[in-house]
Structure 1
Amino acid sequence: STGGGLADYIPFIIFGAVALIMTAVIIEVQQAVRKIPIQSAQRTVGLRQVQSRASFLPLRVNHAGVIPIIFAISVMFLPTIVANYFNAAPVDTWYYKAAHWIQGNFAPDTTNLPMAITYNVLYFVFTFAFTYFYTAITFEVHDVADNLKRYSSFIPGIRPGRPTEDYLAAVMNRVTFAGACFLGFITVILPIATAKISGIPHNQMYLGGTAILIVVGVALDTMKQLQTQLVMRQYRGFIT
């Protein structure tokens, strides 16, 4: 009986191990950046010359965070939400039958294999597309290039202005591709793989990759804010 009891917990042990591994991977990806070397030219500040110095511009791999997943989930739920409005329609109408079919088949855990594949492919595509969309509207390449030029900074080997803007856009597109693939993996492939490995049904996994991503993102942001506050307090104490 002891062996049988232990065997009952094996799926949960496997699921916990996968969750811990994914937490570590998500932390690494959330903190991963592509460092663009920046060179600051010598300039005059007041009566003294400020020497040129080298630094870097960090481009986050997952710049969009969890927002693309939220957008994708909203779009994927839309057909089911619309179908709910036709539940009160006459049973013999075509739109009631269509709505009933959507409610029963347009879901990630449906037994209709072609629809399950279609749903997950669309989910991945929407997550991928919204990652590029949200990154494009929150990371203004033109403003970054303009600020570099304004503060007499430049990327070695790249001319200021439009060439810098084009270079940053190309690099950001490549970085975003990795981030979009990662989010698609978290939302679609990871739950399916975890369900197959652990044997826990997909609809019974209450701690998925998306939930871990949200928790890790909030925890990292909180830690950064705490570090900022500690540095500010130390700086104020040094001044006073």
Structure 2
Amino acid sequence: MKKFFTTLSNIWKIEDLRVRIINTLLFLLIYRVGSYVVLPGVNYASVADQKSEGLVGLLNMFAGGSFSRSSIFALGVMPYISASIVVQLLGIAVPYFTKLQKEGESGRNKLNQWTRYLTIGITAVQAIAYVGSQITPEARLFTGPVFTILNTFVLTAGTLFVMWLGEKITDKGIGNGISLIIMVGIIAQLPGAFLTEFQSRTSGAGGLVTFVVEIVALIGVVMFTILIVQGTRKIAVQYAKRIVGNKQYGGVRQYIPLKVNAAGVMPIIFAQALMFIPTTIQQFFPNVSSSGILIALSNYNSWQHNLLFAILIILFTYFYTAITVNPNQMADDMKKNSGFIPGIKPGAATASFIDGVISKITLPGSIFLAIVAIIPAIASLVGVSPIFARFFGGTSLIILVGVVLDTLQQIESHLLMRHYDGLMKTGRIKGRTAMPAAAGTTPTAI
């Protein structure tokens, strides 16, 4: 306990880290306050107790309850994530976007601009569908085209503002802004879900013992998720020995830690964004809402929905790993620093070896993500309430674990760079591993 308070004191002593944490908390507070601001012309009393289930309930959880409250942030950041998916796919299929990806900072700025433009279009379409289907006539203080047009603009502006908050958190705060916003929305729903499940069990549906078993099982899933998220495959790298004067440089063996889940939380977020498409189509095109496949894909507990969801997660895991981990760049860096993998020739052979290792460890990582993502549906089938089942593994758990570990990693990096102890005396936060150093340098912990 003493070390814990000492660590908190060290965090507060670092001005840059202190400012970043305060900025992050203030930006998240703005988001949470905005999630309670109701759309103009909507009677709050009519939507305050509105319930959401299935995919709509999951979207409401990601939006921190804004969706069911008809808030100005009702659509959250999901349109921005959908736009990011489209732009990244265009980077593979369209030469112009592929060229932008290789142009460094200027190319990234242009891609971000395209993403923002596409976000506006996607948000506008979803806003029209939301106003037409989610806001009942009884909840409207006035009707007519003015109501739809006004709230379409407000919802679009709200999503753009949330997107801006996420970017500001990333730049001025600590952690990934978009992921933190989603995490805060999920955590905001946790106390209510926990209390609902407790009341349900203690009132006779299984008893307190069943509730305790559920909590123990949830803790087990969380622990296993952390192990997989932090799991790495180490590749030995030998650096050539050089003697300059009376000093020896290099000649030591280091390791490249390749993550089993290198893509982090992004594959499941991307897959979830695409799984909202059937629901959006049903809302925007009522005439096709009776389609059997659309109904099945919109059903959170259907096998069709969960099968497609799992496949998308596996595909996005490979896709996101491929665009974030570059074996050729890693091989070139090792060659420039006189490093090599024992038994593997430098250059193309090294890149091919690293790519093969990544492909092998990505498969079990992606399958694990898919299994955990569909656990809530299984939990619902065995009697867990739908609200609490969303936290019993699934998207919410992976996002919470991944985002918390990523944020802790960044805080620990700030501490270690300033010669303070990290957050844990034993064990290592994700990323706190010795990285291969260039010839003539010593490995540093990040």
Alignment of 1:123-202 (within 5 A): 123-188=309-374, 190-197=375-382, 199-202=383-386
Per the alignment, residue 28 of structure 1 pairs with 227
Residues 73-112 of structure 1 aligned to structure 2 (within 5 Å)? 73-87=272-286, 96=287, 98-101=288-291, 104-109=295-300
Paired residue for 1:231?
Answer: 416
Name the amino acid aligned to 1:72: A
Distance across 1 between alignment mates of 2:290 and 2:210: 34
Higher strand share: 1
Structure 1 position 45, deviation (Å): 6.2
Shift of 1:122: 0.8
> 2:207 maps to which residue?
8
Superposition RMSD in Å: 2.4
Aligned residues of 2:232 and 2:258 also touching (Cα < 8 A): yes
List alignment gaps of at least 5 residues for structure 1: 88-95, 111-115, 236-240
What amino acid sits opposite 2:275 in the alignment?
M
Verify: 1:222 aligned to 2:421, yes or no: no
- Alpha-carbon distance, 1:18 to partner: 1.6
Query: Secondary structure in 2 aligned to 1:106?
Result: helix
Identity of aligned residues (%): 35
CA distance in 2, matches of 1:204, 1:42: 57
Is 2:328–2:351's contact at 8 Å kept on the other side of the alignment? yes
- The 1:46/1:23 distance shift into structure 2, 3 A limit, reads farther
Following the alignment from structure 1 to structure 2, what is the Cα–Cα distance between the partners of residues 211 and 45? 54
Partner-residue secondary structure (3-state), 2:276: helix
Q: Is the 8 A contact 2:239 2:338 kept in 1?
A: yes
Structure 2 spans left out of the alignment, 5+ residues: 1-201, 421-446
Q: Is the Cα–Cα contact under 8 Å of residues 296 and 304 in structure 2 kept in the other structure?
A: no
Separation of aligned partners in 2, 1:234 and 1:205: 42
- Secondary structure of the 2:269 match is helix
Give the SS at the match of 1:38. strand
Q: Is the 8 A contact 1:71 1:130 kept in 2?
A: yes
Greater RCO structure (CA 8 Å; 6+ sep): 1
Counterpart CA distance in 2 for 1:80 and 1:46 is: 70
TM-score for the superposition, normalised by structure 2: 0.45
Distance 1:46 1:137, change over 3 A: farther
- Determine if contact 1:109/1:203 at 8 Å carries over to the other structure: no
> Amino acid of the residue matched to residue 205 of structure 1?
A
Q: What letter matches 1:61 in structure 2?
A: V
